[in-house]
Amino acid sequence: MRTRDSNKEEIVKQKAIALLVEKGIEGFSMNRLAKESSISVATLYIYYSDKDDLIKKIGIEIGKNFFDEMAKDFSPSMSFKEGLYKQWENRIRFALSKPLEVSCWEVLTHSSYGEYILEKSLLDFKIIMGSFFKNSVEKKELIPISKETFWSVAYGPLYSLLRFERDGKNFGGGPFKLNKKTIDETFELVLKALTP
Amino acid sequence: METDFNNILIFGTNIKTEKEKQIISKLLNTNPAIEQWNIDLEDIDSVLRIESKSLHAQEIIKMITAEDFKCAELTE
Helix axes A80-97, A99-109, angle to 10 degrees: 100
pLDDT (0 to 100) of residue A8:
85
Mean pLDDT of A107-119: 93
A49 interface with B at CB cutoff 8 Å: yes
Claim to verify: residue A61 and residue A113 sit in the same structural domain: yes
Residue pLDDT, tens place only, A65-100: 999 999 999 999 999 999 999 999 999 999 999 999
pLDDT (0 to 100) of residue A1:
59
Claim to verify: residue A165 and residue A108 sit in the same structural domain: yes
Claim to verify: residue A90 and residue A25 sit in the same structural domain: no
Q: How far apart are CA A74 and CA A77, in angstroms?
A: 9
Claim to verify: residue A104 and residue A189 sit in the same structural domain: yes
Start-end of H helices in chain A: 6-27, 30-36, 41-47, 51-71, 80-97, 99-109, 114-121, 123-138, 147-167, 180-194
Give the CATH number, domain containing residue A43: 1.10.10.60
pLDDT (0 to 100) of residue B2:
59
- Under an 8 A CB cutoff, do B5 and A31 touch? no
- Under an 8 A CB cutoff, do A50 and B10 touch? no
More confident residue, A44 or A4: A44
A23 interface with B at CB cutoff 8 Å: no
In terms of residue numbers, what domain contains A25? 1-48
pTM of the model: 0.81
Considering only the beta carbons, identify the residue of B38, B40, B74 that sits closest to A42: B74
pLDDT (0 to 100) of residue A36:
93
Q: Is the pLDDT of residue A122 over 90?
A: no
A30 interface with B at CB cutoff 8 Å: yes
Give the CATH number, domain containing residue A97: 1.10.357.10
Q: Is the pLDDT of residue A6 over 90?
A: no
Claim to verify: residue A31 and residue A105 sit in the same structural domain: no
Question: CB–CB of A69/A90 below 8 Å?
Answer: yes
- Of A13, A32, A48, which one is at a domain's C-terminal end? A48
Residue pLDDT, tens place only, A134-161: 999 999 999 999 999 999 999 999 999 9
> How many structural domains are present in chain A?
2
Residue pLDDT, tens place only, B13-60: 999 999 999 999 999 999 999 999 999 998 888 999 999 999 999 999
Question: CB–CB of B11/B47 below 8 Å?
Answer: yes
Q: Distance of alpha carbon B34 from its chain centroid, rounded?
A: 9
Q: Which of B21, B28, B41, B47 to mutate: most A Cβ within 10 Å?
A: B47
Q: Is the pLDDT of residue B75 over 90?
A: no
Residue pLDDT, tens place only, A159-186: 999 999 999 998 888 899 999 999 999 9
- Under an 8 A CB cutoff, do B43 and A43 touch? no
Claim to verify: residue A14 and residue A72 sit in the same structural domain: no
Q: Which of B7, B13, B43, B73 to mutate: most A Cβ within 10 Å?
A: B43
More confident residue, A130 or A170: A130
Claim to verify: residue A26 and residue A110 sit in the same structural domain: no
ipTM: 0.83
- Cα angle value A88/A89/A91 (rounded, 5°): 65
A51 interface with B at CB cutoff 8 Å: yes
Q: How far apart are CA A102 and CA A114, in angstroms?
A: 14
Percent of chain A beyond pLDDT 90?
86
